[in-house]
Amino acid sequence: MSNSSIRDTFFEECEELLEALVEGLAAMEENASDMEVVNAVFRAVHSIKGGAGAFALDRLVNFAHTFETVMDKVRSKQLAVNEELMLLFHRSGDQLADLVEAARDEREPNAESEAAILKELSAYLGDVESEEEIAFDAAPLAFDAAPLALDIGEHDPPTGTELRRFDIRFCPTPALYANGHEPLLLFDALAELGPLSVTADLSRLPEFDRFDPEDAVINWRLTLLTSEDETVLHEVFEFVDALCDLEIAVSDEPVVAVDEPPLDSRASQGLPAPTDRAALAEPKAQEDTTPPPSAKTATASAPRDEPRGPRPTLRVDLDRVDRLINTVGELIINQAMISQRIEELELPAVAHLTNELEAYKLLARDIQEGVMAIRAQPVKPLFQRMSRIVREAAEVTGKKVKLVTVGDSTEVDKTVIERLADPLTHMVRNAVDHGLERPEKRAELGKDTTGAIRLSASHRSGSVFIEIADDGAGLNRARILEKAIEKGLVSPEAELSEQEVDNLLFLPGFSTAAEVSNLSGRGVGMDVVKNAVAALGGRVSITSSPGAGTTFTIVLPLTLAVMDGFVISIADQTMVIPIASIIETIRPNPRDLHCIGTDGEVISVRGAYVPIVDVARNLGLSSERADSSGVLLLVSTEGQGLTALRVGAIHDQRQVVIKSLESNYGAIAGVSAATILGDGKIALILDPDELVKLTPAAIFLPPASPPRPELRHA
Amino acid sequence: MLDVSEAPTEAQFEFITFSAGDQSFCLEITQIREIRRWTPVTKLPHTPDDVLGVMNLRGAVIPIFDLSARFGLGETIDNERNVVIVAAAGGTTIGLLVESVSEILSVAKSAIQETPDIKSEAARQAILGVISVGESMVRVVNLDAVLDNEGGTV
Amino acid sequence: MTTKVLAIDDSRTIRNLLRVSLEGAGFEYHSACDGVEGVEQFAEVEPDVVITDINMPNMDGFGVIDNLRSGPNRTTVPIIVLTTESGPDLKARAREAGATGWIVKPFDDASLVSVLRRLTGHVV
């Protein structure tokens, strides 16, 4: 394993640790007296510090150290957690994340916020601690105590190069042996310093039958001739200090003057110097200093790396997974083709073949689901990122906000998670900025002064639901309408339902904040959010009730690769419409069809008049008004509620593999993607919401100018 | 990528020449993925006339442009010799319907001349340079300009 | 005969670093990611020396030392504590618990190998 890949794993591990940190801090918020939780937080910071030290990431080490020291005070109950400290911990966690990121990308972190937080953290440490802090700062990377404990024969010789004689009396206690020390090895270490003679004093050796193998009965007398300083000798005995009686006496007279060149200059830098001086060691290390090999050695010595992590995982290049997903997509298409071909043969009912074909189809689906699951990841890291957004937004707006997350183990496709980050950030910011009232206002209303934002994820009927709910004032519909009229987005005469008013928020260029705030006035509107979600094949909707809050719901397909659709014909083309969007299919009875004006047509469905949209006309595939034949698909669109889509016929219901149109061409209004049918031909997948908007009858949209497809530049 | 403004070197470049709208064009061979017989495509709604539709190229959905129409030379007339040149630039793969493919041309860089000063900015954008072959002139197509839909028909 | 080291640390980074240093110095390397697993591994691997972190989930370093010194394993195999703290308190505590020595993080290869050599007699 190369150094750079160790470094990479360090940063990967940091991600996990930071995640654990955020999680731990959230748990501390609930119960700061749970020592398990405090310990986990401490450990996360501590581990980051430990790893960072190995890569000489001083700033990271320094910050983590300060953070950890304050956390340690909480752990040892010297410091009680209050709201203020909790907030500081959150900010420290954010700062730590920034420092990790900066270290990873090898760029300068934001020194200002770092210094500010360090200062606040240090304020929690007493004077003694801050002194230690300074000492730590001064040489954060020196292998501080290490040379004391470790270096043997690596020190500058005392001023001269003369040998001096040390007489050592070494009387081990039983604890020395119990702690795993072996006197012979200590003697070896001494022998590296110079000629050593060892005498065992067996006077305390008991009679054989009174021998206690755990007692320490042998005392040793040693004589060492060395040019080293006495402190070096003490260092050899550092580990056994307090486990033995040790007397070191030096005879002042130089024994012999030797002509030894100064040691390698590296030694003075604390780096290892060659230690090949002849050791006149006696006794020599014995074989029995290492336990005899046991019968189990053979099996035990098989390499066993990280045999039991939290859960065994496999790191795979994402490209490989995507290639696999593509291939499985092809498999599904191939399966559809075979089914179709066999059907075309019009074989006599051969039950076996049908059963096997069905089995093939199920297998292909299983494989496909399995492969998609590889890409699925819990939304937790995404949600955790939002806690930071909430904190920052709360700070800027001076509001008190609590983030509650629900269902963060819900798994969603990796791409969805990545592409959801920006829209979600925006929505969460909006919720804090516009959704929640100021604390004074909340107090006035008798609400908890701390507002709540609830972020939840769940799987429901083949879709992923993500909700962002606040317990704020709810949408100010009068204001929204006023604004929309002002901006010419809706005619002053228009009569809009509450839902339609709410949906005005999604129109391009809409901004509700009466005064542009620091936070949301960034030129990003909800239309951007909507487009981002739509690009993932999902949709956003709003519900709001005055005084109780607003909820945004994002509904996404479970996988981005396949969906269930009806194969339909439009004009003379074959197309696909997602089954999920269809409420029911209607074969209209001419009695129920009514004309409105010259162009409008409605159908009465259980007493309600539902507008009919002719798909072929909206797509510009037919200019004629369709006759009343065909099938109507009842869909619920966010723009105009219930709508009936007129299509030629429904041929089939099947699972289709979604192929992007945008990768080689661009977006096409009313079409979300394409798929490849059993005959190898391409069929377009319709997007009912967009399709409906293309109608000139759409209520509040400016006359639809056919959008120009946009080509992606290479 | 071809850059005609660079000092000429004697390295040889290979081009595939083809005709579209009665004019002779060529594309550098490294940009061409394959040449296919014309097969009916799936039409796309709300697209300009030069966008014929999309085709299934081994599982990928690629758009097919009528090159003649794209260059404002009128729609390609149905012909048995019509082919689709599948070309790639950057991460994008597209198909170009042309009347017919002629030959492979191997020329030194110095043989590529700058596009003569013509009025139409759009046309200049679409043509990287010209190569004279015997009596005729072959236009080097700028694939990026074809991909760039901003100006619509060039 | 190769010297077997069992390293117990919850940080993957530290385990990686130890592996590289120790395998490079000719030790046979085994690892565990917490105290509980460390004690299990000890019985299985029968290492010649144990290196353990202090701060770990499930069972911390002191728990490991305690278990190995007085639990069913009851061993005098050297146990080296890996610590970021260099204060005398921790060292005294570790020694009292039964640790043989300690290494202060961040460690360099030479110091690490030197300590192991001193405590095991391992010949590089």
What CATH number does the domain containing C83 carry? 3.40.50.2300
Contact with chain B for residue A236, Cβ under 8 A? no
Out of A138-142, A322-326, C10-14, the most confident range is C10-14
**For a pLDDT cut of 70, what percent of chain C falls above it?**
95
Judge: A674–B90 Cβ closer than 8 Å, yes or no.
Answer: no
C-alpha dist (Å) from residue A90 to A83, A93, A340, A351, C42:
11, 5, 59, 65, 38
Q: Give the pLDDT of residue B149.
A: 54
pLDDT at C26 over 90: no
Q: Give the pLDDT of residue A293.
A: 43
B90 in a structural domain: yes
CB A367 within 8 A of CB A562: no
Judge: A674–B42 Cβ closer than 8 Å, yes or no.
Answer: yes
Q: Report which of residues A537 and A692 the model is more confident about.
A: A692
Residues A197-248: tens digit of each pLDDT: 888 777 766 666 666 666 667 788 888 888 888 888 888 888 887 788 888 8
Judge: B59–A670 Cβ closer than 8 Å, yes or no.
Answer: no
pLDDT at A554 over 60: yes
How many angstroms away from the CA of C95 is the closest CA of chain A? Answer: 8
Which of A145-154, A693-702, C65-74 shows the lowest per-residue confidence on average (mean pLDDT)?
A145-154
B2 in a structural domain: no
Q: What is d(CA A17, CA A9) in angstroms, rounded to the nearest whole number? A: 12
Let me know the angle formed at the C-alpha of A339 by A334 and A343, rounded to the nearest 5 degrees.
Answer: 145
Nearest to A188 by CA among A202, A174, A198: A198
C64 in a structural domain: yes
Residues C53-91: tens digit of each pLDDT: 988 888 888 889 988 888 777 888 899 998 776 667 777
The mean pLDDT of A129-147, rounded to a whole number, is: 37
Q: Give the pLDDT of residue A252.
A: 67
CB A684 within 8 A of CB A574: no
B78 in a structural domain: yes
Judge: A180–C75 Cβ closer than 8 Å, yes or no.
Answer: yes
* Residue with tokens 């940080």, as numbered in its chain: C11
**For a pLDDT cut of 70, what percent of chain B falls above it?**
86
Q: What proportions of chain B, in percent to the nearest 5, are helix, strand and coil?
A: 15, 50, 40
The mean pLDDT of A533-553, rounded to a whole number, is: 86
Q: What is d(CA A439, CA A451) in angstroms, rounded to the nearest whole number? A: 8
Residues A594-627: tens digit of each pLDDT: 888 777 888 888 878 888 888 888 888 776 655 6
Beta pairing, strands A244-251 & A400-406: unpaired
Nearest to A465 by CA among A556, A578, A366, A399: A556
Across-strand partners of B127? B141
Q: Collect all residues of chain C within an 8 Å Cβ-Cβ radius of residue A54.
A: 13-14, 17, 105-107
The mean pLDDT of A626-644, rounded to a whole number, is: 75
ipTM of the complex: 0.82
CB A251 within 8 A of CB A165: yes
Q: Give the pLDDT of residue A574.
A: 92
Which amino acid, residue C69? R
Q: Report which of residues A523 and A87 the model is more confident about.
A: A87
Mean pLDDT, chain B, integer: 83
Residues A513-533: tens digit of each pLDDT: 444 444 444 445 787 788 788
Using a 10 angstrom Cβ sphere, with 0-12 exposed, 13-18 middle and 19 or more buried, the burial of residue B133 is: middle
Q: What is d(CA A503, CA A466) in angstroms, rounded to the nearest whole number? A: 18
C106 in a structural domain: yes
Subunits with 3+ Cβ pairs within 8 Å of C are A
C-alpha dist (Å) from residue A689 to A480, A485, A602, A640:
22, 23, 18, 9
Q: Give the pLDDT of residue A463.
A: 76
Q: Which residue of A has its CA nearest to B42?
A: A682
Choose among C10, C28, C48: nearest Cβ to A291: C48
Under the banding of pLDDT at 50, 70 and 90, the label for residue A443 is: very high
* Rg of the Cα atoms in chain A: 37
CB A556 within 8 A of CB A570: no
B51 in a structural domain: yes
Kindly tell me the number of DSSP H helices and DSSP E strands found in chain C. 5, 5
Judge: A684–B42 Cβ closer than 8 Å, yes or no.
Answer: yes
Q: Give the pLDDT of residue A713.
A: 39
Q: Which domain holds residue B134?
A: 12-147
C124 in a structural domain: no
Contact with chain B for residue A679, Cβ under 8 A? no
Under the banding of pLDDT at 50, 70 and 90, the label for residue B122 is: low
Q: Which domain holds residue C81?
A: 4-119
Work out how many domains chain B is built from and give that number: 1
Q: What is d(CA A413, CA A211) in angstroms, rounded to the nearest whole number? A: 69
Judge: C13–A13 Cβ closer than 8 Å, yes or no.
Answer: yes
Residues A155-188: tens digit of each pLDDT: 444 444 677 888 888 888 888 888 888 888 888 8
Q: What is d(CA A261, CA A277) in angstroms, rounded to the nearest whole number? A: 13
- Phi, psi (deg, nearest 5) at residue A292: -65, 150
Choose among C1, C30, C103: nearest Cβ to A304: C30
Q: Give the pLDDT of residue C115.
A: 84
pLDDT at B54 over 90: yes
Q: Collect all residues of chain A within an 8 Å Cβ-Cβ radius of residue B60.
A: 659, 663-664
Q: What is d(CA B83, CA B64) in angstroms, rounded to the nearest whole number? A: 11
B19 in a structural domain: yes
How many angstroms away from the CA of A145 is the closest CA of chain C? Answer: 6
Q: Give the pLDDT of residue A289.
A: 43
Contact with chain C for residue A518, Cβ under 8 A? no
CATH code at B134?
2.40.50.180
Residues A280-320: tens digit of each pLDDT: 334 444 444 444 444 443 333 344 443 444 567 777 777 78
Q: Give the pLDDT of residue B9.
A: 52
Which of A41-45, A327-331, A461-465, B11-15 shows the lowest per-residue confidence on average (mean pLDDT)?
A461-465
How many angstroms away from the CA of A664 is the closest CA of chain B? Answer: 5
What predicted TM-score, i.e. pTM, was given to this entire model?
0.49
Q: Report which of residues A636 and A87 the model is more confident about.
A: A87
Q: Collect all residues of chain B within an 8 Å Cβ-Cβ radius of residue A663.
A: 60-61, 91-92
Subunits with 3+ Cβ pairs within 8 Å of A are B, C
Nearest to A687 by CA among A639, A625, A655: A639
B68 in a structural domain: yes
Which amino acid, residue A263? L
Judge: A290–C106 Cβ closer than 8 Å, yes or no.
Answer: no
Mean pLDDT, chain A, integer: 76
Under the banding of pLDDT at 50, 70 and 90, the label for residue B91 is: confident
Work out how many domains chain C is built from and give that number: 1
**For a pLDDT cut of 90, what percent of chain C falls above it?**
17
Q: Sign of torsion, CA A64 A69 A74 A75? A: positive
Q: Collect all residues of chain A within an 8 Å Cβ-Cβ radius of residue C67.
A: none
Q: Give the pLDDT of residue B66.
A: 93
Hey, which residues 98-127 in chain A have their CB within 8 Å of chain B?
Answer: none
Q: What is d(CA B18, CA B133) in angstroms, rounded to the nearest whole number? A: 13
Subunits with 3+ Cβ pairs within 8 Å of B are A
Let me know the angle formed at the C-alpha of B131 by B128 and B135, rounded to the nearest 5 degrees.
Answer: 145
C49 in a structural domain: yes
CB A379 within 8 A of CB A417: yes
The mean pLDDT of A681-694, rounded to a whole number, is: 86
Under the banding of pLDDT at 50, 70 and 90, the label for residue A710 is: very low
Q: Collect all residues of chain C within an 8 Å Cβ-Cβ radius of residue A272.
A: 108, 110-111, 114
Nearest to A557 by CA among A466, A427, A469: A466
